[in-house]
Structure 1
Amino acid sequence: MTDEPQAASEPLVTRLDADGTATLTLNRPEKRNAINRALFREFREHVAQLSEDESVGLVVLRGARGNFSAGHDLKEPSHADALGWLRQELLTLELLSSLRQPVIAAVEGICYTGGLELALAADIILCDETARFADTHGKWGLVPGWGLSQRLPRRIGQAKALEMMLTSAPYYGLSAAAMGLVNECVPPGELDGKVAELAAAILANSWHSNAANKRLIYETDGMRVADGLNHELMRNAGFDPANRRSNFGKGS
């Protein structure tokens, strides 16, 4: 990858809509898409817009030019209200996680620390064999603030999460798939095709059902089965009023 300077006017997060999918791309490739405050503000604006956009049935999150994200940009000076800003960042990832639309993180290259926390806020993580996942908070004397201590053990189990957090070791794509961190790992060059394949399957179903299923899974996380069953019944979203399926999919 060539580290070329980024034009000042170029957006730090781009959005491309096609066939019911909105793709958000972190766009600081010369910094391996490290997340600074300016990037985060743009990202938050996009997520807020998507939360009210009924023309989008799926969100894909990725990084520009071969890396997902190197995490928080540690070269940026701290915010004057560090705790207040951290809360805004955490709430933004919560908004991403609670979007009506399913969210896929498509990971190539580096996905470290804050980048890993961002990917974990997605519903599904896909990667190729170039992907490298790590939590390096410990290398810098830091602790998670964007939800990693909660989302990582829920995805891969407490023991493996502690291993990742305590060692700061990198895990390549195939190892990440084996431990359940990612849903699927594909050979280099095949990630776009896998994302498109999964997107078509999701968009072909009722968007109403997709949103309701996602909400039920997250709302009942940690409940006893009896409480979860009652929640499913009492908070049931019912039938799609128009039995609406995407115009972009052909579900049967």
Structure 2
Amino acid sequence: MTNLVIRDDRNGLALLTLNRPDKLNSLTVGMFRELRVHIAEIAKSAEIGCVILRGAGKCFSAGHDLADISKGEEVPSRGWHSETLRLMEKLPQPVVAAVHGHCYTGALEVALAADFIVASDNARFGDTHAKWALTPVWGMSQRLPRRVGIATAKRLMFTADMIDAQEAVRIGLAEYSVPHENFDAEIESLAQKILTNSTFSHAANKRLLDATDASPLDAGLQWEVMESEGVGPDMQDRIAAFAKKGK
């Protein structure tokens, strides 16, 4: 039986690949079940310092499988998909969505639950809920405006327009884009940059950012002073290694 989400661990990197290439990685309950298992295992792993989420074949994902929607999906509980993405979002490790090709609607909701998106220059993004008389329940209404601003989120949601990688970067949906022929190398390079730095800092900074997102500035500054975890267990070793390198 083919795995719907493949996990490949590489020296501290967990590469998660959505694996229904014959169906453009359209998202099913079964795929989410496997994704959730991987998320739970990674959350407990001290060996994993970075997570990359991408799609097999021609694209990241064309979105929620419409055939599954039309016949009625059986999910463990109401809000289960949204809960799964929130668990991914709250992983202590940095999570990067590496998007090439299609990234529509449900797939965009998945990508938005990553810490940020890196796009191939052939990536295309869009929210088509309104095209099918649907409303988001996986997080689009909350994460998209936080990423791009409420007016831009409304434009994308109301028009169901598809946008390319250049426009996605311009509006802040994706952090940056790279030529498709360099995409794999860039993702590997990015992961190595993240892995070079402290896993303690990554986890602590994610908690700080999550706790103070959209807070008033003074409240956020007070939270940082009172709740910041300060010095990690590897600080002295890192400073000593830097000092030794400089001699």
TM-based fold match above 0.5: yes
Residue 150 of structure 1, aligned match among 114, 127, 142: 142
How many Å apart are 1:125 and its aligned residue? 0.5
What is the deviation of 1:40? 0.9
Pick which of 84-93 and 25-34 moved more.
Answer: 84-93
Q: Percent of counterpart pairs with the same letter?
A: 45
Residue 119 of structure 1: SS of its match in structure 2? helix
CA contact (8 A) 1:29 1:64 kept: yes
* Aligned residue among 218, 229, 234 for 1:242: 234
Number of the residue aligned with 1:121: 113
**Would you say the 8 A contact 1:207–1:245 is kept in 2?**
no
- The one-letter code matched in structure 1 to 2:32 is F
Q: Number of residue pairs matched? A: 238
* Cα distance, 1:56 vs structure 2: 0.2
The corresponding residue for 1:78 is: 72
The residue that corresponds to 1:133 in the other structure is 125
Partner of 1:45: 37
Task: Tell me: CA distance 1:85–1:244, structure 2 relative to 1, closer, same or farther (3 Å).
Answer: farther
User: Among 210, 218, 222, which residue is 1:226 paired with?
Assistant: 218
Q: State the alpha-carbon separation in 1 of the partners of residues 23 and 236 from structure 2.
A: 42
> RMSD across aligned C-alpha pairs, in angstroms?
1.7
- SS in structure 2 of the partner of residue 190 of structure 1: helix
2:106 aligned partner, one-letter code: G
Of the candidates 217, 228, 232, which is equivalent to residue 209 of structure 2?
A: 217
**What TM-score comes out, normalization by structure 2 length?**
0.92
Q: Per the alignment, in what secondary structure is the counterpart of residue 67 of structure 1?
A: coil
Q: Deviations over 1:180-212 (max 9, x none)?
A: 110011112111122122112111111100111
2:226 and 2:2 mapped to 1: Cα distance?
47
What are the Cα deviations for residues 86-137 of structure 1, in whole angstroms up to 9, with x where unaligned? Answer: 4111110000000000000000100000000000000120011110100000
Q: Structure 1: 5+ residue runs without aligned partners?
A: 1-8
2:177 aligns with: 185
Once the two structures are overlaid, the 10-residue window that deviates more, 119-128 or 229-238, is 229-238
CA distances 1:143-173 after superposition (whole Å, capped 9, x unpaired): 0011011100111111111111001110011
Greater helix fraction, Structure 1 or Structure 2: 2
- Is 1:65 the counterpart of 2:87? The answer is no
Q: Deviations over 1:8-38 (max 9, x none)?
A: x110000000021100000001110001111
